[in-house]
Structure 1
Amino acid sequence: MVLIRIKQTWKRMMVISALVLVLMSSLLASSDRLTNVGTTAAPFLEVGVGSRAIGMGGAFVAVANDVSALYWNPAGLCRIGHGEAVFERVEWLADIDFNYLGATIPFGRWGTAGFFLNAMTVPKMEVRTVDFPDGTGEEYDASSLAVGVSYSLGLTDRFSIGFTGKYISERIWHEKTSSIAIDIGTLYFTGLKGLRIGAAITNFGPSMQMDGSDLIIYYDADPSIDGNNDRIMGKLITDEWPLPLNMQFGIAYDIFDTKFSRFTVAVDAFHPINNTESINAGCELSIMNMLYARAGYQAIGQQDTEEGLTFGAGIKYKMFGQSNIKFDYAYADFGLLEYVSRFTLRLDF
C-alpha cells in the first residue's frame, strides 16, 4: 500500500515537473529583450495582494480559492463557497503604505460577487526646486487608489469565468489622473486529482495622463527683449502612459490531499507589457485545514529584479457556526531593498 502511494506521488511530481519545464523553456527563451520598465502608469496595481498568495511566491492564478482571487483571478471567486472578507496593511518599500480591503458574497447558482478597495500612499516630502534646492517650505505627497467590483460564475462544475471592473486614480501633489480598467479570468478543474489551470488578463483599459495646477507656467517669448510681456501664461503637457497590462497563465496541483493534510504546488507564467516574461512558483502545506506553511520564489527569469524568495504561515480559528477567522503572514525578499513583511486578516461568514 505504501509503495503504491509512493509511485502515485512520484507520477504526480513528474507531471508537475514536465509542465514547469515547458513553461520555463517557452518563456525564458525570450527574456533577453528590452524590459520596458518604467513605461506604464499606476505601478501600484502590480503589487500583489494577500499574505497567502505572496507566501506561495505569487503563484496564485490557478489556486484562486480565497478572497484574494479578487486580485489574482476573479474566476476563482465562485469556487470559495462562502462569503469572505479580507483586510491587509503593508509597509511597502521606502515607507510607502499599502492597504487592501475586499469581500465576496455568494449567490448560489447565480455566481459570486465581490468588491475591493486598494490604496497606496507616499509619505510627505519637502518641495525642492532649482531656485530653492534646500526647500520652499512646502510639502507634497502622492497617493494611488483603485476601487472595483467583481463577478464570477461557474459555467460547468469544472469551468468558471470571472470579470472585474475598476476605477483607478493617482495623485502627485496637485496633479491628478484617472482611468478605468477590466480584468478577465478563467479557471478549469481538469478532474486529474486536483490539477487546475487558470488564466487571467488584468489592467486592460485606457492610458493615464497627469494634469493639474502645478503644470501652469509663465513664459517669456524672447528674454533678450526688454519691455515685452515676460509672464505669458502657459501649461506643460505630460505624456500619456498605458496601464500595466498583464497576461497570466498558471497551473496548480495537489500532490496529496487527505483528511489530515494537503500539499499544493503552483506555477504561474507572467507576460507584462512593462517587463520581461517571468515565472512565479510556490507551494502550500495544510495540516488539519488549520495550520499552513508556505514557500515560493518570485520573478524567475526576470531581468535585473530584486524579487526572490518568499515564505509564509497561517492559522485558522473557528469562531461560531460557519464563521472562521484566519491570520496569515508572508515574507518577501527584495535583495538590495531588503524585505517586505505583511499580515493579512481574513474572515469567513
Structure 2
Amino acid sequence: MKSKCSLKLIAFLFCSCMASALFGQTSTPTYSNEFLSIGIGGRAFAMGNATAASQNNVEAVYWNPANLVDLSTKFDVSAMHAEYFGGLSAYDYIGFAMKINHESAIGLSFIRYGVDDIPNTLELIDQDGNIRYDLVTTFSAADYAFLFSYSRKTKIEGLSLGGNVKLIYRHTGDFATAYGFGFDIAGSFKTDKWRFGAVLRDATSTFNAWVFNTDDLEEVFELTGNDIPTNSTELTLPRLILAVSRDFPISKQFSLLAELDTDITFDGQRNVLIQGDPMSIDPHLGLEASFKKLIFLRAGISNLQEETDFDESKNWTFQPNLGLGIYYKNFRLDYALTDIGDQSIAKYSNVFSLSYAFE
C-alpha cells in the first residue's frame, strides 16, 4: 500500500515539475492536452489507432466526426475503461451518437484521465516537529474533456463533413485548475471499397487557462528553491490526421480491411518516423480480418521511434498491438492488448470497450 502511494506521489511531483517548466504567461509546449491523443475504443487500440477513415459508429465522435452519418442504427452508445502504469492511472470514456435523419447526425462524448488517491503530505509534520500521519489527506490529478459533434452529408456523393466542439477541464487537487476550449474539423470520402478521412484537431489552437492556488505551497516552494507558478494560458497547436482504408473481400464469409493513418504535427520536431521542424509525420498501420462480420481479429503498428542506447548506438522501436472483436446482434465487445509506447518489458494494458446500437 505504501509503495503504491509512493509511486503516485512521485508521479504527481514529476507532473508538477513538468508543468512548472512548461507554463509561462503564454506558452505553446510540444506536448499539451496529450490525454486527448491516447484514443478511445478497443478496436482502435488494437489497430494502432489507425481508424480515422474506417470508424463509422459512435466512436467516430473522437476519431472522425464526419463519419457519424454512417451510423447503421438511429442510436449508438459505447463505454470504455482502461488502466495504465499497473493501475496507478485510470482512463475512462463514454459516448452517445444519434442519427437525426439520413443526411445528418450528432454525438456527445466524455473522457477522463486521472491519477487518484495521491497522498498530500504538506501537513505530515506539525509545528512541533511531530510526524502526524492522521493529517495526511489525498487528492486527484485528472483531465476531463467533453466533445459535442455534428456530421452532415454534402451534395457530393460519398463526401461528408463534421466537427467537434471541445470543452476541457483539468485540475490537480485544490492546487491548480484549467479550463480549455477548442474545435476539430473533419471530412470523409468513400467509394465502393476505399475510404478517405481527414481530421484537423485543435483547428484554431486549443487554449487552457490555468489558475494556481499557491497559498498552501509558497513555503514549500521557497524551501525547495522553486519558482511559484503564476496564472497562465497554454496553447495546443493544430494536428492534421490523414487516413486511407480499403476493404479486401476474400469470400462471402471472410474479408480484410487495411488502414494507414498519418499524424502530422506542427509544434516542433518530434521523435517520430519523419522528423522535421516545425512539421513531423507519424504513420501507423492497422489490419482487421473478419468472419461473417461476427468475429474480428485485429493488429496494428504505431509509435515508430529511433532510440539512442547507452553506448550511443541507435535502433528503431515500435509499438505492436493486438485485439479481438465480437459483434452479436446490436452488441459490440472489443478487446485490445497494447503497450504504452513500444515493445519493451513495460506492462501491457488490457483495454475493453462495450457498445450497443438500437433504433
**Cα distance in 1 for residues equivalent to 2:317 and 2:84:** 14
Equivalence map 1:148-159=2 (5 Å): 148-155=147-154, 156-159=156-159
- Give yes or no for contact 1:307–1:332 (8 Å, CA) kept in 2: no
2:41 is equivalent to residue 42 of structure 1: no
Larger-gyration structure (1/2): 1
- Give yes or no for contact 1:216–1:235 (8 Å, CA) kept in 2: no
TM-score by length of 1: 0.76
**Cα distance in 1 for residues equivalent to 2:211 and 2:262:** 35
**Cα distance in 2 for residues equivalent to 1:89 and 1:100:** 7
Offset, 1:260: 1.6
Which residue pairs with 1:59 in the alignment? Answer: 50
2:92 is equivalent to residue 99 of structure 1: yes
SS in 1 for 2:67: helix
Offset, 1:302: 6.7
Which residue pairs with 1:315 in the alignment? Answer: 326
The runs of at least 4 aligned residues of structure 1 exceeding 4 Å deviation read 128-132, 215-219, 301-307
Offset, 1:251: 0.6
SS in 2 for 1:208: strand
Runs of at least 5 residues in structure 1 that lack an aligned partner in the other structure? 1-35, 220-233, 319-323
Offset, 1:137: 2.3
Change (3 A) 1:303 1:116: farther
Runs of at least 5 residues in structure 2 that lack an aligned partner in the other structure? 1-26, 126-130, 220-226, 273-280, 309-315
- Give yes or no for contact 1:215–1:236 (8 Å, CA) kept in 2: no
Which residue pairs with 1:198 in the alignment? Answer: 197
1:118-165, CA deviations, whole angstroms, 9 ceiling, x for partnerless residues? Answer: 112212222356996x98723332111111210111113310111111
2:109 is equivalent to residue 116 of structure 1: yes
Change (3 A) 1:268 1:301: farther
**Cα distance in 2 for residues equivalent to 1:151 and 1:286:** 29
**Cα distance in 2 for residues equivalent to 1:128 and 1:337:** 29
Aligned residues: 293
Offset, 1:195: 1.2
1:185-205, CA deviations, whole angstroms, 9 ceiling, x for partnerless residues? Answer: 11111x3x4111111011344
**Cα distance in 1 for residues equivalent to 2:259 and 2:78:** 22
- Between the aligned residues of both structures, percent identity stands at 21
- Give yes or no for contact 2:96–2:109 (8 Å, CA) kept in 1: yes
- Give yes or no for contact 2:163–2:185 (8 Å, CA) kept in 1: yes
Alignment RMSD (CA, Å): 3.0
2:63 is equivalent to residue 87 of structure 1: no
Offset, 1:109: 3.0
Which residue pairs with 1:26 in the alignment? Answer: none
